[in-house]
Structure 1
Amino acid sequence: MLRTIDLRGSRPSESELLALVPRAATDVAAALEPARALIDDVRARGEAALLEQAERFDRANPGAVRVPASELAEARDALRPDVRRAIESTIARVRAASAAQVPAPERTVLADGAVVEQRWQPVGRVGLYVPGGKAVYPSSVVMNVVPAQVAGVRSIALASPPQEAYGGRIHPTIAGVAALLGIDEVYAMGGAGAIGAFAYGVPDIGLAPVQRVTGPGNVFVAAAKRLVQGVTGIDAEAGPTDILVIADEAADADFVASDLVSQAEHDELAAAVLVTDSLDLAERVLERVTIRSTETRHSARVRAALEGPQSAIVLVDDLDVAVDFANAFGAEHLEIQVRDPDAVLARIENAGAIFIGPYSPVSLGDYAAGSNHVLPTGGMARHAAGLSAATFLRPQQVVRYDEAALHAVAPVIATLSAEEDLPAHGEAVIARFGD
Structure 2
Amino acid sequence: MKTIDLELNVTRGTYLPAALKLILNTDANLENLIGSEFEEIYIHEFTHFIQDISTIYGLTNFILNLDDLASRAQEIYKFHDGSKITRPVQMELNSNTRINRLLFKEYFGQSLKKGDINSSSNWYITIEKKIIEGVISLNSIKVKVEEVEFKLGAFHMMESMAYEIQKFIYNSNSKSPEIPYCVVRNILKKNVKHNLDTLDIISICDASLLSFHPSEALYSLIIDLNKLESKPDLKWYYEYVEDGMNTAIEIDGQNNFKNISDKVSEVIEYLNKIIPDPNLKDQKQWLINKLIKLKDKRLNESDFLATILKSENPRLAFLEFIAEIGSPVIFNSNGFGFTIEKNEKIQDASVYWSSIIEIIRIFYGNSDCSLVEFCKNNLIEGKPNEYCNLSPWNRTTVFPHCYFAKFWKFWKFEKYDWNH
Q: With the length of structure 1 as denominator, give the TM-score of the two structures.
A: 0.22
Which structure dedicates a bigger proportion of its chain to strand? 1
- Bigger relative contact order (CA 8 A; separation at least 6): 1
Q: With the length of structure 2 as denominator, give the TM-score of the two structures.
A: 0.23
